[in-house]
A and B are shown apart, each in its own frame.
Chain A
């Protein structure tokens, strides 16, 4: 390469090209460096444990916990069928399905409860003057300062027979005997709402805060009553927040462990407790892994269906 044979213009172009490719190289390197923490985290805390769970679910349980390294689909079969040990025949049984059903129902009801409580709360905060909103949001997130286990214990003390609720109601003469709340679905329901309410309020707030309240005024102006304004304008526009809040409450609610364990007294199993028992006292790691994966697939499939349908809705409207 001789510089002398090049015209000055050629030389400039070459230099520019070299500079551009250097910039591109540097950009690629920067992007790699910036992505590394995220990729490492995903690999270590998500993909790796999930792969282990997936592998374990296709192995045989070890006698004293752990796994025996031979392939088996027994864990998945066990979920729907009971194997007769003597005749080696399979009989369909619904015990685990019932636990799944119960968990889904409880999580759904808790999600609905959190929505009904969270929506007015979020609306209240979103309509406060800007400088007051942060204080209210801070108060909403305050419970996170305490561990969930401790908060759930506190809830146990509140709802038990000699707890604050029952004593107050009895002192007021509204009831003569304590309401049996603790160790029932009611207690689990209350506990789930209490634990996950902030997850509902925050996305709802984010979406209501962005709501253009001039649209609310416009609807009032066009003869809509308060209820109609809520139904026809506020709720449709807050829909992304409602969906996000419901997902954020439903998913951890479905897999809840501490709340049903403490407040349900371990009698009323939810999926989380069942998995814990299988991995723990039952020493059936493959079955626990399989149950965990079934739960995860259920959640993922329902999310996918939702994403598909809302995506299609957006397209057909647009």
Chain B
């Protein structure tokens, strides 16, 4: 029987990444159907971190996950697990387990048999398997369901069983392929917390794939934003949200206003940019080569205020819509330059009631909250 590979213990000092992809390229199809799913992607996922691959469908995030799991072999590039090259290793020999989007629970086995399957395949004695299964069942709070068939479970319960099944063999890395996508909002929120708890408890490296930016921000230690087979930016949720480097990242993560501007002056970390004849703003541009001429400036809706005409200098426009959603109110404003701009005002602010649709208003930008983007 082929065993799963044993990894060398991590040596002192030099901490190896849990997973490292080097220049990985994956192409599907031939001729006119040829699709480059991954285009020279490199990423290092640290030990014990909750790492999220975030992007719209078709961006290559699931392909990258499948390459790590071993379901696909890259056309170019290498995949390392704990410093060991696993590029050509079949899935059943990689100490990596997957929680599938569809859960993929075995319908002909009970909950306990599902959870014990991996351990049994590893050749563990039945007594040990039973012990681990019991531990896993209590960890995901499914003790009462051990003897049930999987088709008798709710979506949330199936999700827990899928998690327990993947965690039972104590993998080096747990891969999660949009596991929460099929759950309703309330359950999804619960499972987000649950997943984070499990990751803390087990200390296993989680690689999580999602297209839900909120999910990525709430759970991850670090996020890689992907688009069209490339990783555009890797960073903590805070970095990604506050300092998006790419227009795509800025657009994809949360709501954002993107305005064209003219560079007036450039310093080491910021640019002075003119947005309108008499409106200039200082925008950070760390990590971006300062260029001459036209740039895009990103401003979060919550980084701007709305004010009465003439009260303060700012971008002027007409309020097209006012959307109230509990914690805040969004003002959708058509600027005189023609761009749409959204201002978000937290509830409880007095200004909320002063405006109605059709009014002219001034958008006041807060200093230090704008960001120059790569197009």
Q: Which residue of B lies closest to A213 (CB)?
A: B104
Digitize A184-220: 1 where CB-to-B-CB distance is under 8 Å, 0 elsewhere.
Answer: 0000000000000000000000000000101101111
Do A215 and B104 have beta carbons less than 8 Å apart?
Answer: yes
- Interface size class on chain A is 10 to 19
A213-262 interface with B by 8 A CB criterion? 214-215, 217-225, 228, 232-233, 236-237
Q: Cα distance A125–B4 when bound, in Å?
A: 31
Min Cβ gap A90→B in Å is: 51
- Interface size class on chain B is 20 to 34
Do A221 and B98 have beta carbons less than 8 Å apart?
Answer: yes
Digitize B64-106: 1 where CB-to-A-CB distance is under 8 Å, 0 elsewhere.
Answer: 0000011100000000000000000011110011101010111
Q: Which residue of A lies closest to B101 (CB)?
A: A214
Digitize B226-265: 1 where CB-to-A-CB distance is under 8 Å, 0 elsewhere.
Answer: 0000000000000000000000000000000000000000
Do B118 and A222 have beta carbons less than 8 Å apart?
Answer: yes
Do A214 and B100 have beta carbons less than 8 Å apart?
Answer: yes
Pick from A217, A222, A317, A318: contact of B121, CB below 8 A: A222
Min Cβ gap A200→B in Å is: 22
Do B97 and A228 have beta carbons less than 8 Å apart?
Answer: no
Question: Which chain B positions have C-beta within 8 A of A223?
Answer: 4, 92-93, 118, 121-122, 169
Do A317 and B104 have beta carbons less than 8 Å apart?
Answer: no
Q: 30 A-B residue contacts at CB 8 Å?
A: A214-B100, A215-B106, A217-B91, A217-B98, A217-B100, A220-B71, A221-B71, A221-B96, A221-B97, A221-B98, A221-B166, A222-B97, A222-B117, A222-B118, A222-B121, A222-B165, A222-B166, A223-B92, A223-B118, A223-B169, A224-B92, A224-B117, A224-B121, A225-B2, A225-B92, A225-B121, A228-B121, A232-B117, A233-B106, A318-B149
With contact pairs A223-B121, A225-B1, A225-B2 given, residues A218 and B71 touching in the complex (Cβ less than 8 Å): no
Q: Which residue of A lies closest to B104 (CB)?
A: A218
Q: Does B107 contact A (CB under 8 A)?
A: yes
Question: Which chain B positions have C-beta within 8 A of A219?
Answer: 106, 117, 121
Do B92 and A214 have beta carbons less than 8 Å apart?
Answer: no
Question: Which chain B positions have C-beta within 8 A of A214?
Answer: 100, 102, 104
Question: Which chain B positions have C-beta within 8 A of A224?
Answer: 92, 117, 121
Q: A214-B102, A220-B91, A223-B92 are in contact. List 6 more A-B contacts (CB 8 A).
A: A221-B69, A221-B98, A222-B118, A222-B165, A225-B1, A228-B121
Leading 4 A-B pairs by shortest Cβ distance: A222-B118, A218-B104, A223-B121, A220-B91
With contact pairs A223-B118, A225-B1, A228-B121 given, residues A217 and B71 touching in the complex (Cβ less than 8 Å): yes
Q: Cα distance A232–B71 when bound, in Å?
A: 19
Question: Which chain A positions have C-beta within 8 A of B104?
Answer: 212, 214-215, 217-218
